[in-house]
Amino acid sequence: MERTVGTGGGLAAAAAAAATATATTPTTPTGARPNSATPRSVEPGHIPSSSAEWQERGAAVAVREVSGEDGNVQIRIIRKGVKDFTFGRVLGEGSYSTVVAATDRQTLREYAIKVLDKRHIIKEKKVKYVNIEKNTLNRLGDHPGIVRLYYTFQDERSLYFVLDLAPNGELFSFVKKLGSLNEECTQYYCAQLLDAVEYMHTHGVIHRDLKPENVLLDSNMRVKVTDFGSAKLLPMPSADELAALAQKRDDDDHRPRRADALEIDESERANSFVGTAEYVSPELLTDKFASKPSDLWAFGCILYQCIAGRPPFKAANEFQTFQKITALNYVFPPGFPAAARDLVKRLLVLDPTKRIQIDDIKRHDFFKGIEFGPALWKRKAPRLQPFNFRQGVGHYVLK
């Protein structure tokens, strides 16, 4: 059992302090949930002046509880910093960060480390989003379909997020390479994605940038959702509320929803476009708000893309893509299987209050025979195969 009690140091200067000084990561390399996480005390205003001091003060500090043979629990303090990892190949690059494969020198366990450039983040006023990503990942540290955050630390130049490595990369690469995925593969990957989205939503997180590039695959070819830099954190439901929510879902599955059930916070209306053009929901474009159903719109786009090989709304530029989205202007390629077609139609609904909800998606014919929950993560991944549109068309015509 291990818990991280804080990331030392601090970008004590100005707003950056908020992003880094309290960066704590209450998850463990063994997968166990930690007891708690408390920021390590740092004198306010103090900025380390040498690399050695950064190594000392910028490290993550974890408390490991080890059970001895006599049954007594011993406490071990573990510090993790840049020097504790061997950095390898670059896995991905974003505007503010680079993700690099890395090995813990002591345990030889492999991770993906997201390295964020502090100066660039401060200059571009993205401190808030770095905090959101860290807080979101800390909240979601207990689901097999979501990348786990183990440690955060920093040095003079960078912040480091130590994450689960997903060695098989993006689902998107496989869809691109094969041209499409058959129904069995689409059902498998989309069921895992939906299970992860349900976990996020019940834990008060809206991803807001779901797309095939953010759906990674682990060593067993199982889904790991990543990149919570655009996420929205809703107030965390209590254990009682979570239980009541589950009960309520059973009770009112078929009742129409009111707009206020979308949990929209008026102060949170997005002033600028967030997300990726092809997967952005119509409500974000027209009313400038994203809610839980906005993630399900993106889910519908991903499901469509797995089978069709391209997203439903795609045009020469962003503006034309947005026009197609708000006009619900998309078509199914001939042979697109009937159950998947029906589910996509229920997901790609302009009014978010009329969009199909997670419980009904799970019960939909497309997911017939799928057991959601822990069993889903024990299933062996199917062999990757493209959708056979020729066979689909023949079958379709004969019907």
Catalytic residues: 209
- Residues 128-147 interacting with ligand ADE (rule: CB under 6 A): 147
Contact 169, 217 (CB under 8 A): yes
End-to-end, the C-alpha distance of the chain in Å comes to 58
The rounded distance, in Å, linking the Cα atoms of 337 and 347 is 16
Minimum CB separation from ligand ADE for residue 147, in Å? 5
In this chain, which of 42, 121, 159, 163 binds ligand ADE, going by CB under 6 A?
163
Tell me if residue 243 falls in helix, strand or coil.
helix
Minimum CB separation from ligand ADE for residue 214, in Å? 9
Query: Among the candidate windows 122-130, 157-165, 264-272, 296-304, which touches ligand ADE by CB under 6 A?
Result: 157-165
* Contact status: 91 vs ligand ADE (CB under 6 A): yes
Minimum CB separation from ligand ADE for residue 87, in Å? 14
216 or 376: CB nearest ligand ADE? 216
The DSSP string of 61-114 is: EEEEEEE-TTS-EEEEEEEE-GGGEEEEEEEEE-SSEEEEEEEETTT--EEEEE
* Contact status: 88 vs ligand ADE (CB under 6 A): no
* Contact status: 115 vs ligand ADE (CB under 6 A): no
Phi, psi (rounded to 5 degrees) for 240: -65, -45
- Residues 45-84 interacting with ligand ADE (rule: CB under 6 A): none
How many residues of this chain bind ligand ADE (CB under 6 A)? 12
Minimum CB separation from ligand ADE for residue 106, in Å? 20
Which CA distances in Å does 146 have to 68, 138, 207? 32, 11, 11
In this chain, which of 92, 237, 333, 386 binds ligand ADE, going by CB under 6 A?
92
Minimum CB separation from ligand ADE for residue 145, in Å? 13
CA 156 to chain centre: 28
- Residue from 312, 265, 311 nearest 289 by CA: 265
The DSSP string of 172-237 is: HHHHHHHSS--HHHHHHHHHHHHHHHHHHHHTTEE-S---GGGEEE-TTS-EEE---TT-EEPPPP
* Contact status: 225 vs ligand ADE (CB under 6 A): no
- Residue from 352, 194, 198 nearest 260 by CA: 352
Which CA distances in Å does 177 have to 24, 141, 306, 310? 38, 31, 12, 12
What residue number has its CB nearest to ligand ADE? 112
- Residues 355-394 interacting with ligand ADE (rule: CB under 6 A): none
147 or 358: CB nearest ligand ADE? 147
Query: Among the candidate windows 125-133, 163-171, 196-204, 248-256, which touches ligand ADE by CB under 6 A?
Result: 163-171
Query: Among the candidate windows 122-130, 165-173, 176-184, 287-295, which touches ligand ADE by CB under 6 A?
Result: 165-173
Tell me if residue 336 falls in helix, strand or coil.
coil
* Contact status: 112 vs ligand ADE (CB under 6 A): yes
In this chain, which of 16, 23, 60, 99 binds ligand ADE, going by CB under 6 A?
99
Count of other CB atoms within 10 angstroms of residue 38: 14
Which CA distances in Å does 399 have to 137, 286, 335, 396? 47, 40, 11, 5
Query: Which residues is 76 bridged to in the sheet?
Result: 64
65 or 110: CB nearest ligand ADE? 110
Minimum CB separation from ligand ADE for residue 165, in Å? 5
Burial (Cβ within 10 Å: 0-12, 13-18, ≥19) of residue 41: exposed
In this chain, which of 165, 194, 298, 343 binds ligand ADE, going by CB under 6 A?
165
Minimum CB separation from ligand ADE for residue 328, in Å? 32
Minimum CB separation from ligand ADE for residue 376, in Å? 20
In this chain, which of 60, 166, 193, 277 binds ligand ADE, going by CB under 6 A?
166
List contacts with ligand ADE (CB under 6 A).
91-92, 99, 112, 147, 163-166, 169, 216, 226
